[in-house]
């Protein structure tokens, strides 16, 4: 989900045109049956599903591309892919995007309303986009189609029509399904179906797909060729927000690569020789330090350690957090304030599952809205790197913008791990070339 398109004129011809189309689709809308979310899969877990054509290449097109969540998902899955086109109106997003992905400058567009995608017809296997959602968000004014940003979904639909991708994924806030008593989603769903696609949708929460962040978003998937599809079932959450932090711990307490591989081996885990982050400790043994049997606590990897990303999905580099991320006494007092007579909020810090990351989190809201952690008696905000981790971006992702922009970009992104679950569940490789 990209940043706000600040210079969109509310009275532009283009916006009026889209609103007229929406108005036409609203005729007799109440007579149309309510659309129901698709089922969850009750079969094999998406984590163990194999790709049928792992050597195929997926031709990828993205709109409102932000910092490239779907592109990073393909990188993490190590799937062959080629970016056909991408675009975002925010210049800082473009800077981040070009620092992390390979794309020709000629295939980048700035304004979705001016993007003519007809030259890419038949060249896109997967189209992904999350149009700006402030018009439908529970935190905004929820003006929907009356907000200029609310009409941008039509540009996504137009590009579907112009490029005819084999599959598309449309993402937005959960509030889109309830806006205007469900009428807004009926219109959007109707337009996607009219394009000739078999459409499935469901609200998914990132904490159900491996990331300790409570973030609910609607995911709508359309297939050009009809097929039966069920959304990936939730998996147990194995990590806490703590596991994504950067606070320093003495390196002598960390196992080296050989030790980690031994402790986390299938044989070791299946025979219960060791456990990691167990709720109840195993029987302690005097020699467990030397034979690597017993209890271990997962913590980001040591400063001087370098591991293959394929070895552990969530082994991060550890570094001491810079002083600038700690809150002054005055700011900490505001952040931890429970509210006023007219406004009350909970002030918990150090949550196991993070609150939804916001694109405005650089402004430091109260603790009931943003995420804060404590370390040695001091309170601090999350670092940009930690925010990116909580959106599913590995540390290989390069941060090339200011902290303020990095916070905004993380808060606006799609959670990578949810996209990975979707790509595995649908077996995206069968749609490649």
DSSP 79-121: --EEEEEEE-S-HHHHHHHHHHS---GGGEES-GGG---GGGT
**Residue 83 resides in a domain:** yes
Number of H helices and E strands in the chain, helices first, is 12, 11
CA distance 147 to 59: 33
CA distance 195 to 211: 34
User: Same structural domain for residues 173 and 124?
Assistant: yes
Contacts of residue 246, defined as CB under 8 A and 6 or more positions apart, other chains included, come to 300, 316, 318, 319, 320, 321, 383, 385, 386
**Residue 62 resides in a domain:** yes
**Residue 77 resides in a domain:** yes
User: Same structural domain for residues 118 and 161?
Assistant: yes
Closest by alpha carbon to 414, among 44, 121, 73, 42?
73
Q: Which residue has the tokens 């905000």?
A: 381
Instruction: Assess whether 133 carries a catalytic annotation.
Output: yes
Burial 26-65 (b: 16+ CB within 10 A, else e): beeeeeeeebeebeeeeeeebeebebebeebebbbbbbbb
> How high is the pLDDT of residue 268?
65
> How high is the pLDDT of residue 226?
94
> How high is the pLDDT of residue 137?
40
User: Same structural domain for residues 137 and 180?
Assistant: yes
CA distance 205 to 179: 19
User: Same structural domain for residues 288 and 165?
Assistant: no
> How high is the pLDDT of residue 136?
43
**Residue 388 resides in a domain:** no
Q: Which residue has the tokens 């709109």?
A: 63
Choice among 93, 133, 220, 387 that is catalytic: 133
User: Same structural domain for residues 169 and 277?
Assistant: no
3-class DSSP state of 188: helix
Domains contained in the chain, number: 2
* Structure token digits, residue 381: 């905000």
CA distance 218 to 256: 41
Kindly provide the residue ranges of all beta strands, DSSP E only, lying in 308-392, ordered along the sequence.
372-375, 378-381
User: Same structural domain for residues 58 and 114?
Assistant: yes
How many Cβ atoms sit within 10 Å of the Cβ of residue 161? 14
**Residue 48 resides in a domain:** yes
> How high is the pLDDT of residue 19?
56
**Residue 130 resides in a domain:** yes
Q: What is the largest CA-CA distance in the chain?
A: 77
> How high is the pLDDT of residue 127?
98
> How high is the pLDDT of residue 253?
47
User: Same structural domain for residues 210 and 290?
Assistant: no
Q: Give residue 139's domain range.
A: 13-235+413-431
Q: What is the mean pLDDT of each run of 10 residues along the chain (433 residues)?
A: 42 57 63 83 95 97 97 98 97 97 97 93 96 50 43 85 96 83 81 91 96 93 96 94 72 57 66 62 46 58 50 72 88 83 77 90 84 83 90 95 92 95 98 98
User: Same structural domain for residues 183 and 280?
Assistant: no
**Residue 72 resides in a domain:** yes
User: Same structural domain for residues 68 and 192?
Assistant: yes
Query: CA dist 396 to 59, 76, 316, 389, Å?
Result: 23, 10, 10, 10
**Residues of the chain by 3-state class (helix, strand, coil), percent to 5:** 35, 15, 50
Q: Can you name the residues that pair with 202 across neighbouring β-strands? A: 219
**Residue 220 resides in a domain:** yes
* Structure token digits, residue 45: 């877990």
User: Same structural domain for residues 63 and 173?
Assistant: yes
212: CATH: 3.40.50.150
> How high is the pLDDT of residue 222?
97
User: Same structural domain for residues 203 and 127?
Assistant: yes
* Structure token digits, residue 56: 């195929």
User: Same structural domain for residues 280 and 174?
Assistant: no
Closest by alpha carbon to 390, among 400, 381, 401?
381
């Amino acid at each position: 989900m990209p940043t706000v398109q600040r210079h969109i004129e509310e009275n532009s011809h283009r916006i009026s045109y889209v609103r007229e189309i929406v108005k036409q689709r609203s005729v007799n809308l109440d007579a149309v049956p309510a659309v129901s979310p698709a089922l969850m899969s009750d079969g094999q877990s998406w984590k163990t599903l194999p790709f049928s054509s792992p050597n195929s290449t997926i031709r990828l097109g993205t709109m409102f591309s932000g910092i490239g969540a779907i592109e990073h998902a393909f990188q993490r899955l190590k799937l062959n892919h080629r970016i056909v086109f991408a675009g975002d109106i925010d210049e800082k997003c473009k800077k981040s995007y070009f620092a992390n992905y390979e794309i020709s400058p000629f295939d980048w567009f700035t304004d979705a309303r001016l993007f003519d995608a007809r030259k890419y017809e038949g060249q896109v296997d997967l189209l992904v986009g999350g149009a700006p959602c402030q018009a439908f968000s529970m935190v905004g004014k929820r003006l929907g189609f009356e907000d200029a940003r609310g009409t941008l979904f039509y540009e996504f639909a137009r590009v579907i029509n112009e490029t005819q991708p084999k599959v598309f994924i449309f993402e937005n806030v959960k509030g889109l399904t309830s806006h205007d008593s469900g009428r807004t989603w009926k219109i959007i769903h109707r337009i996607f179906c009219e394009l000739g696609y078999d459409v499935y949708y469901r609200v998914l929460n990132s904490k159900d797909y491996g990331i300790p962040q409570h973030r609910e978003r609607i995911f709508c998937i359309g297939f050009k060729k009809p097929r039966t599809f069920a959304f990936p079932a939730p998996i147990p959450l194995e990590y806490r927000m703590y596991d994504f932090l950067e606070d320093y711990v003495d390196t002598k307490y960390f196992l080296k690569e050989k030790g980690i591989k031994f402790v986390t081996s299938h044989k070791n885990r299946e025979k219960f020789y060791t456990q990691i982050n167990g709720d109840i400790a195993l029987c302690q043994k005097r020699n467990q330090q030397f034979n690597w049997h017993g209890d271990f606590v997962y913590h980001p990897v040591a400063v001087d350690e370098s591991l293959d990303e394929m070895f552990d999905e969530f082994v991060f580099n550890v570094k001491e957090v810079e002083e600038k991320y700690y809150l002054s006494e005055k700011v900490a007092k505001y952040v931890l304030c429970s509210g006023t007579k007219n406004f009350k909020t909970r002030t918990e810090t150090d949550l196991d599952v993070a609150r939804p990351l916001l694109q405005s989190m650089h402004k430091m809201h109260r603790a009931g809205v943003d995420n804060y952690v404590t370390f040695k008696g001091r309170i601090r905000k999350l670092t940009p790197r930690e925010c990116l981790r909580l959106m599913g971006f590995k540390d290989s992702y390069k941060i090339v913008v200011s902290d303020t922009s990095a916070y905004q970009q993380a808060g606006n992104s799609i959670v990578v791990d949810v996209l990975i679950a979707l790509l595995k569940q649908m077996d995206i490789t069968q749609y490649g070339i």
